[in-house]
C-alpha cells in the first residue's frame, strides 16, 4: 500500500470521526453535512486508489533504487509549448464575465472552450 493511499485512508477515517463527533456534540445539520460529504469525497478517492494501484510498483518507492534504474522508461509524452492553455483560460474568463454582463459572451466562451478542449485531445495524440 503506497503512502499516498495510506494518507487518503487515514484522512477519510479522520473525516468520518470528526463528522460523527460534530453531530453528537452540536446536532447542527449544515456542518455535519459538510464534514460528512468531505468524508465521502476522501473515501471515494481512497477507494479508487485501492483499485488503481493494485499493480503499482514505482521505482520511486524502492529505497535502494538508483536513477539509472528507470532510464529509458517512457512514462508519457507532453508538449513543450502550447497555445491551448492561454486560450482555454481566456475562454473560461469570457464565460465568467459573460455570466455577469452578457449572455452572448457566455455562448462565445462555451464554443471556444469546446473547440479548445478538442484541441487538447488532438494535441495529446
Partner 1 sequence: MSAASAPVAAAASPRNDLLSWLTTTDHKRIGILYLVASLAYFAVAGALALAIRTQLAHPAGTFVGSHEYAQLFTLHGTGMIFLFVAPFAFGLANFLVPLQIGAPDMAFPRLNATSFWLFLFGGMVVFAGTATAEGGAAAGWTSYAPLSEIPVSSGLGQDLWIVGVLLVSVATILTAINVVTTVFIYRAPGMTMWRLPIFTWEMVATSLLVFMAFPTLAADLLLLFVDRHLGGHAFDPARGGSAILYQHLFWFFGHPEVYVMILPYFGVISEIVPVFSRKPIFGYTGLVLAAFAIAGLSMGVWAHHMFTTGAVNNPFFSFVSFLIAVPTGVKFFNWIGTMWRGSLTFPTPMLFAVGFLLNFLLGGVTGVMVASPPIDFHAHDSYFVVAHMHYVLGGGSLFAIFAALFFWWPKMFGYRLREGLGTWCFWLLFVGFNVTFFPMHFMGIDGMARRVYTYADAGALPLLNLIATAGSYLMLAGVLVFAWNVLLSALRHEPAGDDPWQANSLEWATSSPPPEHNFERLPPIRSERPVFDARHPELPTKR
At CB < 8 A and 24+ separation, what contacts does 45-53 make? 45/8, 45/12, 46/5, 46/8, 46/9, 46/11, 46/12, 49/2, 49/4, 49/5, 49/8, 50/5, 53/1, 53/2, 53/5
Interface with partner 1 includes 15 (CB under 8 A)?
yes
- The Cα 35–Cα 58 span in angstroms is 33
Chosen residue from 75, 103, 121, 125 binding partner 1 by CB under 8 A: 75
In this structure, how many other beta carbons lie within 10 angstroms of the beta carbon of residue 51? Answer: 7
Least separation in angstroms between residue 124's CB and partner 1 is 9
Select 93 or 104, whichever has its Cβ closest to partner 1: 93
For partner 1, give the closer residue by CB, 2 or 108: 2
Smallest gap from Cβ 84 to partner 1, in A, equals 6
Contact 106, 98 (CB under 8 A): yes
**Of residues 1, 40, 48, 65, which one binds partner 1 by CB under 8 A?**
65
Interface with partner 1 (CB under 8 A): 2-4, 7, 10-11, 14-15, 18, 21-22, 25-26, 28, 30-31, 34-35, 38, 41-42, 58-86, 88-90, 92-93, 96-97, 99-101, 120, 123
Amino acid at each position: 500500500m503506497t503512502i499516498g493511499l495510506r494518507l487518503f485512508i487515514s484522512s477519510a477515517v479522520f473525516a468520518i470521526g470528526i463528522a460523527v463527533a460534530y453531530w453528537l456534540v452540536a446536532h447542527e445539520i449544515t456542518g455535519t453535512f459538510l464534514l460528512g460529504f468531505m468524508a465521502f469525497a476522501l473515501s471515494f478517492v481512497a477507494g479508487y486508489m485501492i483499485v488503481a494501484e493494485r499493480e503499482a510498483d514505482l521505482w520511486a518507492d524502492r529505497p535502494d533504487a538508483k536513477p539509472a534504474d528507470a532510464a529509458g522508461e517512457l512514462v508519457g509524452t507532453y508538449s513543450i509549448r502550447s497555445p491551448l492553455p492561454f486560450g482555454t483560460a481566456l475562454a473560461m474568463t469570457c464565460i465568467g464575465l459573460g455570466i455577469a454582463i452578457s449572455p452572448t459572451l457566455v455562448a462565445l466562451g462555451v464554443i471556444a472552450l469546446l473547440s479548445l478542449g478538442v484541441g487538447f485531445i488532438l494535441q495529446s495524440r
